[in-house]
Amino acid sequence: MRLLLAAGFTLLTMPAFAASAIPFHDMIAGTITDYARPKFAAFAGTAATLRDDVAALCRTPSAGALTTAQDAFKAAVVSYSEVEFFRLGPLGVDNRLERLLFWPDAKGIALRQVQTTLASKDPTATSPATLEKKSVAVQGFGAVEFLLFGTGADDLASATGAYRCSFAGAATTLIAGIAETLSTEWVADGVGSASDAMLNPQPTSTDYRTELEVINKLAGTLSFGNDTIRDQRLSPVLSLTTGTPKPKSALFWRSGMTAKALAANFQGLLDFFNAAKFGPAVAGASGWVAKSIVFEFGGAIAAANDVPIAADGPVTDPTGMLGLRQMYVSTGSLDTLDESLSIAMGLSAGFTSLDGD
Amino acid sequence: MWQRRAFLKAAGAGFAASLLPQRAEALETAELLFATATQESPGRFGARVLTETGKLITNVDLPVRGHDVTYSREAGRAVVFARQPGMFAVVFDPAGKAPSITIPSIEGRHFFGHGVFSPDGTLLYATENDFANARGVIAIYDVAAGYKRVGEFDTCGTGPHEVILMPDGKSFAVANGGIETHPDYGRTELNLDTMDPSLAFVDVRDGHLIGQLRLAAGLHQLSIRHMVVDAQNRVWFGCQFRGDKADRPQLIGYATLDGEIKLIELPPDALGSLDNYVGGLAVSADLNTIAASSPVGGAILTLDVSSARPSGVTLLAHTCGAAPDASGFLATNGAGDLLGLDGSPAARQHFDFQFDEHLRQLRT
């Protein structure tokens, strides 16, 4: 077979016009040093705090301890939302994504399974070792949000909620464990590490064969993140097929974190964009592309931050819904600009190679 | 093979004269014609009919990305389908003389990006999504009635992608990808844990299910998506794997109306070049070679049909479009490149627009 392939093998490397004003290696190094490592470390920190605060709540239940745990949940959601679309490397393997967040969940599977688990007081949900083997729908942020904010969450402030708290303790321990693993794997720099695979691509590698391939995947991450925000976070709420918004189709509506998570999504992508030096890469005649992307991210973040949160719960008021619509429009602009960015660099990420069909 | 002559005959007298001079000249020197959806510039989409050297014959503008193009000499029309979740298809005259017709999707349905004409050109069939019920259908449009939707058949599966007609014109082969989507979630795949892909043969006359073939249960995340037919009526199919990225299942196989379905055994290096994703298939003019393209792997793998063994790999980043020319294949990519492979004499060229996923030869 090798001989056969060699005989018929035609190597056509990337087009000659693929170009950046700065070395690709600098872009990759910037991504790792200024985005992946600090952001995943921050997530590991907030996840550990969440785990510890839920453990403290379980040891000594009180209204104050519950509030502390809820606040820790919100902080962990923000830090995760800043990294969740960076799926190259550690986050994209071993079902870590699904174990951290079972979403989208159009059929409400997680809610049903969590409620069933609570009703039966299934003992296997109270230990990380056994919970890990159960459905991903009863693990991760979705399950923890219902346990800390959903119907019956007030029980956590007293001994009445002991089982529920143990369930939350196991789930937050698993989240913290994954977060720590992600950070550790990004910090590693030896042969075979995620950063080494990106910084030193090899023709025989199954990860990346060239630096240009890495850059393409980095550019694709921008498009992927943008599309995912639009398709999984905004579109289900706006429900354009029915014309009637569905506020409870929003991620994190129970904790009132829908808009803050969206702001963190956009902020995380913007931070990645800057860390990867896409701006300097297209300096010059195409500099307008990078400036426009930064401008659009700013508009989307502002729209998310302007969504009123008078009380915890879903976005229902017209002003809030208008904010979601503004973000939806921003994703359309960013979609086009991401394409312009790829063209300016001679790439084609996101057009045919990363979005399925 | 002299496709241009047949195309001109179908287009009618005076067609070439009606074209702009440079387009008429391009047609005059063309051997073959191809169609593809395109991105003309960021955010501006269309479809083009091109010569084998990429010269423009006709084009239409589209409001969003198109996907595949189908053509009927009998109907004298080509149709470009919006990419899923597509809300329209555009019927256009490759000769550029008649105005285009837009077919909007009906309430509760959207296009999946593929379709085919009946052999006599009187009906157009398209894969569509009954998204409230996660049910695939083949919609039927009456050409003479201005492409009025006159019915639909069940594909007996979720997420049908490509539909083709078997050579005898009596049955459809449908690639039920098995992936549930809903336009409220864009292109998000909603059922990766419970996917149930299949290849279904459906009777053209009444829509009854002739047979439905599934791969082994352990391969339920292997989405069957694109197909071509060889000289022995075997339906070759290409798959996309939605399971763990570390797994490397086989991706190409064939099925028959007799109920056989099997994946061929590609060696690891050939399989690895596809990177768990076949974006399109094409069969050569002599039906002896199949090209499988992978935009993810950035490669086009050619296979000898009789031995089911690879005959070559061409690396081309962002490639997906592949179509037969007289002696090999043309391949295109999302960076605006076109090249010939596997014996094609076409020289590599770069264009200022981007080719979308499929390239179709306008069979006449």
Instruction: Using the predicted structure, report yes or no on whether residue B145 has a pLDDT greater than 70.
Output: yes
The closest of A71, A80, A137, A143 to A109, measured between CA atoms, is A137
User: What is the C-alpha to C-alpha distance for residues A123 and A130, in angstroms, rounded to an integer?
Assistant: 9
C-alpha distance from B173 to closest chain A C-alpha (Å)? 18
A residues 57..96 contacting B (CB < 8 A): 92-93, 95
User: What is the C-alpha to C-alpha distance for residues A230 and A240, in angstroms, rounded to an integer?
Assistant: 12
Q: What is the CATH number of the domain that holds B133?
A: 2.130.10.10
In this structure, the answer to whether residues A66 and A161 fall within a common structural domain is yes
Selected residue with higher pLDDT from A21 and A47: A47
Helix H or strand E segment including A220: helix A211-228
Instruction: Using the predicted structure, report yes or no on whether residue A2 has a pLDDT greater than 50.
Output: no
Instruction: Using the predicted structure, report yes or no on whether residue A14 has a pLDDT greater than 50.
Output: no
Residue A40 near residue B307, CB atoms below 8 Å: no
Residue A160 lies in a domain: yes
pLDDT at A205: 85
Residue B23 lies in a domain: no
Chain B residues with CB under 8 Å of A219 CB are none
Cβ of residue B29 closer than 8 Å to a chain A Cβ: no
The closest of B364, B280, B296, B295 to B329, measured between CA atoms, is B280
What are the tens digits of pLDDT across the range A185-194?
Answer: 999 999 999 9
Residue B49 lies in a domain: no
Task: Please judge whether A231 and B187 are an interchain contact, meaning their C-beta atoms are less than 8 angstroms apart.
Answer: yes
| Alpha carbon separation from A326 to A234, A300, A305 (Å, rounded) | 10, 7, 12
Q: Which residues, in sequence order, are CB contacts of A171 under 8 Å at separation 6+? A: A131, A138, A139, A140, A143, A144, A147
Residue B320 lies in a domain: yes
pLDDT at B11: 56
Q: Where are the beta strands (DSSP E) in chain A?
A: 10-12
Query: How many folded domains does chain B comprise?
Result: 1
Return the number of other C-beta atoms located less than 10 Å from residue B98's C-beta: 12
What are the tens digits of pLDDT across the range B286-343?
Answer: 999 999 999 989 999 999 999 999 999 999 988 999 999 999 999 999 889 999 999 9
Quick one: closest CA in A to B246, which residue?
A93
Query: How many folded domains does chain A comprise?
Result: 2
Dihedral (C-alpha) B58, B60, B61, B66: value to the nearest 10 degrees? -110
Last residue of a domain, one of A189, A208, A227: A189
In this structure, the answer to whether residues A206 and A180 fall within a common structural domain is no
In this structure, the answer to whether residues A44 and A140 fall within a common structural domain is yes
Residue B39 lies in a domain: no
As for the ipTM of the complex, it is 0.81
Residue B236 lies in a domain: yes
Read off the DSSP letter of residue B120. T
Q: What is the CATH number of the domain that holds A60?
A: 1.20.1420.20
Beta strands across the sheet bearing B329-333: B319-324, B329-333, B337-341, B349-350
Helix H or strand E segment including B349: strand B349-350
Cβ of residue B119 closer than 8 Å to a chain A Cβ: no
User: What is the C-alpha to C-alpha distance for residues B259 and A46, in angstroms, rounded to an integer?
Assistant: 55
Residue A313 lies in a domain: yes
Quick one: closest CA in B to A107, which residue?
B190
Determine the structural domain holding residue A95 and report its residue range: 27-189
Q: What is the CATH number of the domain that holds A273?
A: 1.20.120
Residue A58 lies in a domain: yes
Average model confidence (pLDDT) across chain B = 92
What is the token pair recorded at A240? 């354009």
Last residue of a domain, one of A189, A207, A222: A189
Q: Which residues, in sequence order, are CB contacts of B12 under 8 Å at separation 6+? A: B76, B95, B97
User: What is the C-alpha to C-alpha distance for residues A114 and A110, in angstroms, rounded to an integer?
Assistant: 6
**A9-13, A234-238, B251-255, B294-298: segment of lowest average pLDDT:** A9-13
What are the tens digits of pLDDT across the range B211-249?
Answer: 999 999 899 999 999 999 999 999 999 999 999 888 999
Helix H or strand E segment including B21: helix B21-29
In this structure, the answer to whether residues A268 and A125 fall within a common structural domain is no
SS3 assignment, position A166: helix
In this structure, the answer to whether residues A79 and A147 fall within a common structural domain is yes
Residue A227 lies in a domain: yes
User: What is the C-alpha to C-alpha distance for residues B112 and A248, in angstroms, rounded to an integer?
Assistant: 28
Chain B residues with CB under 8 Å of A335 CB are 43
Q: Which residues, in sequence order, are CB contacts of A326 under 8 Å at separation 6+? A: A299, A300, A303
Cβ of residue B319 closer than 8 Å to a chain A Cβ: yes
pLDDT at B16: 58
C-alpha distance from A115 to closest chain B C-alpha (Å)? 21
Task: Please judge whether B187 and A227 are an interchain contact, meaning their C-beta atoms are less than 8 angstroms apart.
Answer: yes
In this structure, the answer to whether residues A220 and A183 fall within a common structural domain is no
What are the tens digits of pLDDT across the range B277-287?
Answer: 999 999 999 99
C-alpha distance from B358 to closest chain A C-alpha (Å)? 10
Cβ of residue B348 closer than 8 Å to a chain A Cβ: yes
In this structure, the answer to whether residues A174 and A213 fall within a common structural domain is no
Quick one: closest CA in B to A236, which residue?
B184
In this structure, the answer to whether residues A203 and A183 fall within a common structural domain is no
Residue A124 lies in a domain: yes
Instruction: Using the predicted structure, report yes or no on whether residue B177 has a pLDDT greater than 50.
Output: yes
Residue A3 lies in a domain: no
Interface test with A, best of B36, B184, B275 (most A CBs within 10 A): B184
Determine the structural domain holding residue B188 and report its residue range: 106-361
User: What is the C-alpha to C-alpha distance for residues A290 and A292, in angstroms, rounded to an integer?
Assistant: 5
Task: Please judge whether B39 and A8 are an interchain contact, meaning their C-beta atoms are less than 8 angstroms apart.
Answer: no
In this structure, the answer to whether residues A214 and A324 fall within a common structural domain is yes
pLDDT at A81: 98
Residue A256 lies in a domain: yes
Last residue of a domain, one of A157, A189, A221: A189
Return the number of other C-beta atoms located less than 10 Å from residue A1's C-beta: 12
pLDDT at A343: 83
In this structure, the answer to whether residues A176 and A215 fall within a common structural domain is no
User: What is the C-alpha to C-alpha distance for residues A176 and A185, in angstroms, rounded to an integer?
Assistant: 14
Residue B250 lies in a domain: yes
Q: Which residues, in sequence order, are CB contacts of B331 under 8 Å at separation 6+? A: B291, B293, B300, B314, B316, B319, B321, B322, B338, B339, B340, B341, B359
Task: Please judge whether B43 and A347 are an interchain contact, meaning their C-beta atoms are less than 8 angstroms apart.
Answer: no
Average of per-residue pLDDT across B56-77:
94
Quick one: closest CA in B to A203, which residue?
B273
